[in-house]
Structure 1
Amino acid sequence: MPIEMPKGLPFSVDTWTPASKRKRHHFLTHAHKDHAQGISAHASFPIYSTLFTTTLIRRYYPKVDESIFIGIEIGQSLVVEDPDGDFTVTTFDANHCPGGVMFLFEGNFGNILHTGDCRLTPECLQNLPEKYIGKKGKEPRCPLDYIFLDCTFGQFRSKMPSRHAAIQQVINCIWKHPNARTVYLTCDLLGQEEILSQVSQTFSGKVYVDKIKNSECLKALELTVPEILSQDPSSRFQLFDGFHRLYERAEEKISEARSNFQHEPLIIRPSAQWYACNEGVSDTEMRKKLRFDQAVRDLYGVWHVCYTIHSSRDELEWALELLAPKWVVSTTPSCKAMELDYVKKRCQRAFDDSLWKLLDFGTVASLDPCEAGKSNSCSNLMERIPNRCAEEAESEPVVISTHQRKRLSMSPPSKRPMLTLFGRARLGLEYSILQHELNEIVSVGSYSLERASTEAEERSSQKDKVIKVKLQKSVESNRMADDELGCISSIGIEGTDRMKFEERLESERISDSAHSKFTYASKEFDMQKRVAISSIGFSRSYDENLRRFYRSVNVPIPQPLPSLVKLMDANKKMKKKM
């Protein structure tokens, strides 16, 4: 799922929620369902998209009003008027699917490239403005401030074949099985119609698409390649659903052909998903997945070809080296951009002014390494526009409107949720924005947290309340005793008086041990309940390697997370007492 754009930006991209609806401008990169989810309920004027994307979305969601769309085609630039300052948006081919684009935003907020879903090949990047593209060993004249990047295969280290080479592998696989009476192609995703077109052209046969089973895919194919479609169910080439019970249906097709003493049908799946998923895979299967130069058959009889409309890890690293952005944000959770070598080397540094402003926090007055240790408090936060190119800054001075200063001004630290290393920062920008914008009560099953706590209080007995009161008194008395003991030590009282005092203190603590154990069990229950409600607020629910990695980033934070500090102190005290 796409992520919400940071609060400091006036636009949303590919998100249709109550939060994104509050944005003044909306952009849609392409017509895949996961990028248009919620558009029927939360669409609002204006939505910028290509004509093809608009047409297909209108077919998928007839209730969406066509008048809220504003057309913007590949290579076109528009100036968008906004109360906080006009900005320019330019579209570029995303090399993903028909109508799919990347958006380049240029304004007071900086220079931002949002790739949507993309495959960043050299042909794709050469269309970007020259000032944003560097050369080998040399950074671009105007580095991007931010790039919101499709990192779907950011963990996949193998080199994927080009789309043209993968299509040729599909054709070669069909040539090698001339006796297959039926060829099932799992090409029901927008962006794979080129495979169907090449197969139809090579073998002079049309492709049958079931109107009932593949209605949405048929709508897209009627717009892209209507000439290859057939209504004859006996056609040799047929579209096959590549997601729902694929392997079960494949085995059924093969078993049916064997029982009728016919040649097995050929089932081809052009996708990188099979190659990228290695969980529970045998060594034999793993060795098969290392072959990217030809189609590979799996245990179920399905032939796989590594065809992808997303960038491989190598392509992402190469693109980032050329673009050299200041910050990289993954549009595919969970923080996959953090695993890229470029991000580890270039982007793991202290938050600069532009990032604080993008998050709609005030920016740190000085994050110089020499001065970072002096103060990390929120009182030093200020507001400043990100640095732009020197050549542009001279000709176009940045002017901040009064409305913009008011909207971006930071509220007092006590009223604004802190962005901390152990809190929202570890989850990426999408979570840091969503969590402090939403004020909804977290639900646990069919009961809200508020209702659950109320019922718990009603069920608690009067005896438990009395124990809690006694426990508070005992804790206070222990603290007073500790203070007294400190005072006795400081003034030098020794001998019998001191021994008697320590014995009395120890007896009082022992008498309250039952209450301490009750409190410890109660806190353990509360901790388990909070983890069940939400793992976002509890760092122990994350893998140890992930937490160690984030601690090593050395990000300066305004304040430590109070709840975590108190929790650690409470745990230490309880362990000592037990």
Structure 2
Amino acid sequence: MPIEMPRGLPFSVDTWTPSSKLKRSHFLTHAHKDHAQGILSHASYPIYSTLLTKILLRQFYPQLDDSMFVAIEVGQSLVIQDPDGDYVVTAFDANHCPGAVMFLFEGSFGNIFHTGDCRLTPECFLSLPDKYIGKKGKEPKCPLDYIFLDCTFGQYPLKMPSKYSAKQQVINCIWNHPDARAVYLACDLLGQEEILVEVSQAFGEKIYVDKARNLECFNSLKLIAPEIISEDPSSRFQLFDGFPKLYERAAVKIAEARANFQHEPLILRPSSQWYVCNEGVSEMEKQQKARVNQAVKDIYGVWHVCYSIHSSREELDWALQLLGPKWVVSTTPSCRAMELDYVKKHCFKNRQAFDDSLCKLLDINAVEHLVPDGPNKKLSSSNLVEDISNGYVETQSGSLVISTYQRKRLSLSPPGKRPLVTLFGQARLGLPYLAFPHESKDASAICNSEEKELIETKNVSFQKENVTVENSEEQLVAMRQSKFAGTNCSGPNNNYDKEEISTSSSMAKSAAETKNVSFEKEEVAQVNAEEVLKTKRKIDFTETNSTELAATSTVSSSNSYGENLRRLYRPMNVPVRQRLPSLVMLMKAKKSARKRT
């Protein structure tokens, strides 16, 4: 399944989902079903594709309306009008299957090359503008900003033969089995028609296609190469179904020939899948798969030829060295572009330039003012493609074969512009709020630590209170003992009684006042701790550094918050909370109230 295009781009390529439906333009590279998955539910005008791709696709999905498609042929350029700025798209041959193309997009978003599925060869780049191609070890004059690349075989070091060489192997294998009464060709995939055409021309015979069994392939061949189709089931060359259950059907054909005392039929499967799948195979079979320059027979009696309509790893690295893009994105999620040698060596040099261009692709320019380091740098990309009408014929022709570049301006009715990305949209993208450093603790850890601090504050307050009361009682007992030792034991001493009573009252009064002050400290500390806890819980989504938050939330004699804490409230659109009065101010207010009374 192809990947979605980034949200900052006004177009989608080969994706048909609710997200891609929001794009204003849609492009289809070829008619394989995995690139058209979901098109019946989420297709919308306009869909740009070649005429052949449209016809093939509508054979699979006749429900699609013909008016939804806009034709673009190999070598043709279109100027697409868009509210975010016009851009130019050019189609190039993808060397994959009939009607398959690659798209080059040039606009304010940069220069983006989308290959779809492809088998890259030097012929694929003959019509590509010279400014995008490097020469003699030099980088191109205008490197592509992004390549969305078909990396199907990017992780396999297998060196695949060219398509021409593979077709010759098929023909040679048939020549080497003249006694085979029947030749079954497992070529029912769109893109393998070239093999059937080569075999038919080399041996001068048509190929039987069972219309009832394989209707889609019959209809495709009827459109692409109707001259090679035979409806005679006794023909020597016959189209054979590929997977699934290829080996079961092959075993049945071989058993039938042996039962009739005939030579075994020749069953040929031109494909690269058998060569790249090495899980659970023996060492002998691995050695057989390494021989890609000739046909190989497996243990089931099926002959294999390495015929690929996707680029090998070696071809991908060669193409990237030629084009020299700034960044490569794999369109096949199972195979990552970073596994390619070119990406490892070249695509991590200018990380800042990549980050800036990524902001454009993600459409987050609307929140540049939130970044304290200033606005992002402009994406280093070339201007809109040069005036392609100079030296070429401008025409509105819709013919299938167009040999010259054409320029058309299409007046479409795209949907309205997307709303600007808000702070919450930024959070959905997984981007941090850059005005503050990332905190090391999560929200639950902060809450637990604050509750622990609150409990510890209360315990310390109670301990201070108990110590104060105990000291007061000890002083009172010691004073009583000293007074008793210095008086006459024969009778009571009124002066001692008065002094004892006065001292006891003053000490009790002092202990009570100390206890009240301790309770006041406890209440103030508790209120302040609870206030800090509430404040942190409200603003923990901003991911503020826990140490900075603790420093700014401590009780001090100042009535104003620090600048960092004030900036936390700004994106919340709420007034800054007023700090509670300090303990010193409360004591002063209490004393002044006593003086007045």
Q: Which residue of the other structure, out of 355, 358, 377, is the alignment partner of 2:358? A: 355
CA distance 1:229–1:473, change in 2 (3 Å): closer
Matched residue, 1:135: 135
Residue 379 of structure 1, CA deviation: 4.9
Normalising by the residue count of structure 1, what TM-score does the alignment of the two structures yield? Answer: 0.68
CA distance 1:300–1:244, change in 2 (3 Å): same
8 Å CA contact 1:363, 1:384 repeated in 2? no
Please give the alpha-carbon distance, in whole angstroms, between the structure 1 residues aligned to 2:423 and 2:367: 14
8 Å CA contact 2:47, 2:69 repeated in 1? yes
Matched residue, 2:164: 164
8 Å CA contact 2:88, 2:384 repeated in 1? no
Residue 419 of structure 1, CA deviation: 3.6
CA distance 1:485–1:201, change in 2 (3 Å): farther
Q: What is the one-letter code of the residue matched to 2:126? A: Q
Residue 264 of structure 1, CA deviation: 1.0
8 Å CA contact 1:91, 1:103 repeated in 2? yes
Please give the alpha-carbon distance, in whole angstroms, between the structure 1 residues aligned to 2:460 and 2:322: 63
Residue 440 of structure 2 is aligned to residue 412 of structure 1: no
Matched residue, 1:145: 145
Q: What is the one-letter code of the residue matched to 2:137? A: G
Runs of 4+ more than 6 Å apart: 363-366, 390-393, 403-406, 472-477, 482-488, 558-562
Q: Which residue of the other structure, out of 374, 379, 383, is the alignment partner of 1:386? A: 379
8 Å CA contact 1:363, 1:381 repeated in 2? no
Q: What is the one-letter code of the residue matched to 1:388? A: S
1:293-348 per-position Cα deviation (integer Å, ceiling 9, x unaligned): 10001111111100001100000001001111111111111352121111112223
Q: What is the one-letter code of the residue matched to 2:4? A: E
Matched residue, 2:213: 213
Matched residue, 2:107: 107
Residue 410 of structure 1, CA deviation: 4.0
8 Å CA contact 1:91, 1:102 repeated in 2? yes
Matched residue, 2:46: 46
8 Å CA contact 1:270, 1:304 repeated in 2? yes
Residue 385 of structure 1, CA deviation: 4.8
8 Å CA contact 1:184, 1:240 repeated in 2? yes
CA distance 1:363–1:227, change in 2 (3 Å): same
1:500-520 per-position Cα deviation (integer Å, ceiling 9, x unaligned): xxxxxxxxxxxxxxxxxxxxx
Matched residue, 2:14: 14
CA distance 1:487–1:343, change in 2 (3 Å): farther
Q: CA RMSD in A?
A: 3.3
Aligned residue for 2:88, secondary structure, equals strand
CA distance 1:85–1:41, change in 2 (3 Å): same
Matched residue, 2:572: none
Per mean C-alpha deviation after superposition, the further-off stretch among 164-173 and 212-221 is 212-221
For structure 1, list consecutive stretches of 5 or more residues without a partner in the other structure.
367-376, 394-402, 422-471, 494-557, 563-578
Please give the alpha-carbon distance, in whole angstroms, between the structure 1 residues aligned to 2:416 and 2:136: 40
Please give the alpha-carbon distance, in whole angstroms, between the structure 2 residues aligned to 1:477 and 1:352: 40
Please give the alpha-carbon distance, in whole angstroms, between the structure 2 residues aligned to 1:284 and 1:268: 20
8 Å CA contact 2:85, 2:107 repeated in 1? yes
Residue 91 of structure 1, CA deviation: 0.4
8 Å CA contact 1:354, 1:363 repeated in 2? no
Matched residue, 1:263: 263
8 Å CA contact 1:84, 1:404 repeated in 2? no
Aligned residue for 1:256, secondary structure, equals helix
CA distance 1:105–1:258, change in 2 (3 Å): same
Residue 361 of structure 1, CA deviation: 2.5
CA distance 1:138–1:486, change in 2 (3 Å): farther
Residue 365 of structure 1, CA deviation: 7.5
Query: Aligned ranges for residues 532-551 of structure 1 at < 5 Å?
Result: none
Matched residue, 1:511: none
Q: What is the one-letter code of the residue matched to 2:161? A: P
8 Å CA contact 1:383, 1:408 repeated in 2? no
8 Å CA contact 2:208, 2:237 repeated in 1? yes
Please give the alpha-carbon distance, in whole angstroms, between the structure 2 residues aligned to 1:326 and 1:99: 29
Please give the alpha-carbon distance, in whole angstroms, between the structure 2 residues aligned to 1:81 and 1:10: 10
Aligned residue for 2:124, secondary structure, equals helix
8 Å CA contact 1:364, 1:380 repeated in 2? no
CA distance 1:476–1:360, change in 2 (3 Å): closer
CA distance 1:147–1:99, change in 2 (3 Å): same
Q: What is the one-letter code of the residue matched to 1:411? A: T
Please give the alpha-carbon distance, in whole angstroms, between the structure 2 residues aligned to 1:262 and 1:485: 98
CA distance 1:179–1:420, change in 2 (3 Å): farther
Residue 559 of structure 1, CA deviation: 9.3
1:474-493 per-position Cα deviation (integer Å, ceiling 9, x unaligned): 998755566789999xxxx9
Residue 20 of structure 1, CA deviation: 1.1
Please give the alpha-carbon distance, in whole angstroms, between the structure 1 residues aligned to 2:46 and 2:220: 24
Matched residue, 1:555: none
Query: Aligned ranges for residues 59-70 of structure 1 at < 5 Å?
Result: 59-70=59-70
Please give the alpha-carbon distance, in whole angstroms, between the structure 2 residues aligned to 1:58 and 1:270: 27
1:15-49 per-position Cα deviation (integer Å, ceiling 9, x unaligned): 11111111111111111111111212221111111
Please give the alpha-carbon distance, in whole angstroms, between the structure 2 residues aligned to 1:273 and 1:242: 12
Please give the alpha-carbon distance, in whole angstroms, between the structure 1 residues aligned to 2:306 and 2:170: 10
8 Å CA contact 1:173, 1:295 repeated in 2? yes
Matched residue, 1:306: 306
Please give the alpha-carbon distance, in whole angstroms, between the structure 2 residues aligned to 1:172 and 1:242: 21
Residue 390 of structure 1, CA deviation: 7.6
Matched residue, 1:295: 295
Residue 242 of structure 1, CA deviation: 1.1
Please give the alpha-carbon distance, in whole angstroms, between the structure 1 residues aligned to 2:8 and 2:374: 15
1:224-281 per-position Cα deviation (integer Å, ceiling 9, x unaligned): 1100000011111111111121112112221222222221111111011111111111
Aligned residue for 1:55, secondary structure, equals helix
1:61-106 per-position Cα deviation (integer Å, ceiling 9, x unaligned): 1110001111111000111111111111110000111111001111
8 Å CA contact 1:145, 1:325 repeated in 2? yes
Structure with bigger gyration radius: 2
For structure 2, list consecutive stretches of 5 or more residues without a partner in the other structure.
387-413, 433-445, 468-540, 546-597
Residue 205 of structure 1, CA deviation: 1.1
Q: What is the one-letter code of the residue matched to 1:417? A: R
CA distance 1:21–1:130, change in 2 (3 Å): same
CA distance 1:280–1:81, change in 2 (3 Å): same
Residue 417 of structure 1, CA deviation: 2.2
8 Å CA contact 1:352, 1:364 repeated in 2? no
Residue 210 of structure 1, CA deviation: 0.9
Residue 389 of structure 1, CA deviation: 3.0
Please give the alpha-carbon distance, in whole angstroms, between the structure 1 residues aligned to 2:274 and 2:218: 25
CA distance 1:228–1:378, change in 2 (3 Å): same
Q: What is the one-letter code of the residue matched to 1:45? A: Y
8 Å CA contact 2:166, 2:307 repeated in 1? yes
CA distance 1:29–1:391, change in 2 (3 Å): closer
Identity of aligned residues (%): 64
Matched residue, 1:222: 222
Please give the alpha-carbon distance, in whole angstroms, between the structure 2 residues aligned to 1:473 and 1:67: 60
Aligned residue for 1:18, secondary structure, equals coil
